[in-house]
């Protein structure tokens, strides 16, 4: 039988990766997609790689004099949970996730922005961190700031996000139940991201560009409107962080 309390923890893993306290900035801009994380890193010509682990890479540099950490923080709920925990243990004080999602409202178009203010839990990873009745809560001040920022970037919607583990089981019986609970978007990462940040009492918020719409059936994964929204999202969040 196992005698140790835990096989591996975030602090020990960071140490094994030669991470040192102070390597991270106080604020991190996190994406699930590697190409979006690379877009963030390219915003900072002086960015230095903090570490690479299982394909998750983080850099820290400066943008207009502001020290910022960026990286790909998970594409699904399990990797989002453990990567977020590593960031929290590494000293990040404020986490901003820039992601993509499916829209759950007919009036949300591909390329629109969704700022998450509530989370509906449909993932499995968060159950290892909190009780089943726990309600993950994005930081209100940071969420308000994102909503205000993106009013000047494009069409923005604010509401709940349901996170699921089963991409091909987004059936009307399941989806409609989460819409009734207040979800206007669905992804695979926001809930574990916010949940773990809540556990570590780290400010966290999320903004996403709509890539598809489950109500209308629109698919915008290769739509120029979606790619344009991604680029604008990166620029807007960097400028918001610098503005403070």
Percent of the chain's residues with pLDDT above 70: 100
Q: Given this model, what pLDDT does residue 13 score?
A: 93
Q: What is the largest CA-CA distance in the chain?
A: 57
pLDDT tens digits along 169-222: 999 999 999 999 999 999 999 999 999 999 999 999 999 999 999 999 999 999
pLDDT tens digits along 53-92: 999 999 999 999 999 999 999 999 999 999 999 999 999 9
Q: Is the pLDDT of residue 142 over 90?
A: yes
Confirm if 211 and 113 have CB atoms less than 8 A apart.
no
Q: Given this model, what pLDDT does residue 125 score?
A: 96
Q: Given this model, what pLDDT does residue 244 score?
A: 83
Q: Residue 89: which H helix or E strand, with range?
A: helix 77-89
Is the pTM higher than 0.85? The answer reads yes
Structure tokens belonging to residue 138: 């994005």
3-class secondary structure per residue, 119-139: EEEECCHHHHCCCCCCCCCCC
Place of tokens 């963030």: 40
Q: Residue 145 — very low, low, confident or very high, per pLDDT cuts 50/70/90?
A: very high
Complete domains list, the chain, with CATH: 10-243 (3.40.50.1580)
């Amino acid at each position: 039988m196992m005698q140790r309390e835990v096989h591996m923890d975030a602090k020990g893993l960071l140490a094994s990766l030669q991470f040192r306290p102070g390597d991270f900035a106080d604020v991190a801009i996190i994406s699930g997609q590697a190409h979006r994380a690379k877009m963030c890193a390219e915003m900072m010509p002086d960015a230095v790689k903090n570490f690479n682990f299982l394909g998750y890479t983080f850099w820290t540099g400066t943008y207009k004099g502001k020290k910022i950490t960026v990286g790909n923080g998970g594409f699904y709920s399990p990797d989002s949970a453990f990567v977020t925990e590593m960031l929290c243990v590494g000293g990040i004080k404020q986490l901003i996730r820039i992601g993509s999602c499916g829209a759950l409202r007919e009036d949300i178009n591909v390329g629109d922005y969704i700022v998450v203010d509530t989370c509906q839990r449909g993932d499995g990873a968060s159950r290892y961190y909190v009780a089943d009745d726990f309600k993950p809560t994005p930081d209100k001040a940071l969420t308000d700031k994102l909503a205000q920022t993106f009013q000047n970037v494009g069409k923005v919607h604010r509401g709940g996000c349901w996170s699921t583990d089963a991409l091909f089981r987004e059936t009307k019986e399941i989806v409609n139940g989460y819409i009734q609970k207040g979800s206007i978007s669905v992804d695979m990462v926001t809930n574990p991201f916010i949940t773990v940040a809540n556990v570590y009492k780290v400010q966290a918020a999320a903004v996403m560009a709509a890539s598809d719409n489950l109500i209308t059936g629109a698919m915008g994964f290769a739509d120029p409107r979606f790619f344009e929204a991604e680029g604008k999202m990166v620029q807007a969040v960097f400028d918001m962080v610098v503005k403070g």
